[in-house]
Amino acid sequence: MPPQDDAEERTEDATPRKREREREEGRVPSSREVGTLFVLTAAALTLYYAGEGMTARTKSLFIYFFENLGSFELTREGATRVMATAFLHALAIIGPFMLALVLASIAGYLIQVGFLISPKPLQPRPSRLNPIEGAKRIFSTHMLAETVKSILKFAVVVTVSWQVLDSVISTSNAWMDKDPEQLIESLLSIGLKLALIMLVFLAAEALLDYAFQRWRFEKGIRMSRYEIKQELKETEGDPHIKARVRSIRQQQARQRMMKEVPRAEVVITNPTHYSVALRYDPQEREAPHVVAKGSGLIALRIREIAQEHGVPLYEDVWLARQLYRTCDIGDTAPVELWQAVAKVLAFVRALDRKKLAAAV
C-alpha cells in the first residue's frame, strides 16, 4: 500500500515509460483547434490559387445545362445520364478542394502527435455505459470549459460573418447587375475574405488551446514518488529490459575493445577460432596484458583491424586457446605463459628490426 500522501500528491513529471504507456493507450496532447486551423488554411489557399479554375468549371457546367436543357430526354436513362454528368462536373470542381481539406486535417493531426494508430480508445468500456460516470463527464470542469470556449468561438464567428455580410447586403443593388460568372467570383472573394479573417482568429486560438491542452495533459500524467519507485522496481526486474541493457553493454564493450587493437603489439591467432591481442609497455605494466580477444566473427574482425593498422599476426593454436580461456580484457598474461609470450614478443621485435633495416 502506498503512503496516503504519495498516493494523492502527484508532483513529479511523468517518466518516459509512463509517457509510452499513455501513447499506447491513445492518450496524447492534441487540440482540435489546430486541426481546424489547418483545414481553414487549406481552404483559404485552395480558394486563392484554384478559385479561378473552380469558377471556370462552374461556369462551363451552367452553360452545358442551359444549352442542352431542351435536348435532355425525359426518361429514366436520360435522367441517369444527366445526373452522372452533373456528378462528374461537380466532382471536378470540389474534388481537389475536398482533397486539400482531408490532407490538411491529416497534417494537423500528424504535426501534433506524430504517426499513431491505437485501437484502444475505440474499444468498448463498461464505464461508458454507466449513467453516473456519463453524468460526471457531462458536468465536469473540462466539459464546462469546452462549452464556454465553443460559445465564445461561435459568438466571434457570427460577429465577424455579420460584419462581412452586412457590407455585402449594403451593396446588394450592385449584385443584380452582375452576370453569373461575376456573381460566382464575388462569392468566392467573400468566402476568401471570411476565411482569412477567421484564420487570424483561429491561429491565436489554436496556439492558446494547444498550450492549454499540453499543460492539462502534463498535469494529468504526473506521478507520485511512490509510483516512480514502483516503476523503477518493475523496470529493473523486467527480464526483457535486463537482456536489452546487457546487450547494449556488451556491444559498447566490444566497441571499446576494438579501438584497442591498433595499439596492440601482436595478435595471437588459432588461426580461425580465436584471436587474442596483446600489448606490452614496460612503463605501463611489468608483463604483457590482453587488450582484445574474441572467437568466431569477433576473432575475424580483430584480425582484420590488426591487418589494417599493421599489427603483426602470430599463429599459435595452443597459446591462443590458453590466453582466451584464462584471461579477460585487461588481465596480465599468467606467469606460466610468460615464456611462450616472450617467444612471440621476440618474434615481433625481430620483425620490427627487419622492417627498419629494409627501410634504411
Question: Residue 114 pLDDT > 50, yes or no?
Answer: yes
Long-range Cβ pairs for the range 38-42 (8 Å, 24+): 38/104, 38/105, 38/107, 38/108, 38/111, 39/101, 39/104, 39/105, 39/108, 40/195, 40/198, 40/199, 40/202, 41/104, 41/199, 42/100, 42/101, 42/103, 42/104
Read off the pLDDT of each residue in 282-291 and give the average, rounded to a whole number. 86
| 80 belongs to a structural domain | yes
User: What residue numbers bound the domain in which 219 lies?
Assistant: 16-232
| Phi, psi values for residue 354, rounded to 5° | -65, -40
| 11 belongs to a structural domain | no
**Count of structural domains, the chain:** 2
pTM, to two decimals: 0.50
pLDDT tens digit string along 217-275?
888 888 888 888 888 777 666 677 777 778 888 888 888 999 999 999 899 998 778 99
* 8 Å CB contact between 199 and 66: no
CATH code of the domain in which 271 resides: 3.40.1690.10
Question: Residue 75 pLDDT > 50, yes or no?
Answer: yes
What pLDDT does residue 7 have? 44
Looking at per-residue pLDDT, the higher value among 355 and 275 belongs to 275
What pLDDT does residue 275 have? 93
SS3 292: strand
Query: What mean pLDDT value characterizes the chain?
Result: 80
Q: Which helix (H) or strand (E) holds 295?
A: strand 289-295
Q: How many residues does the chain have?
A: 360
Domain identity same for 310 and 163: no
Domain identity same for 160 and 261: no
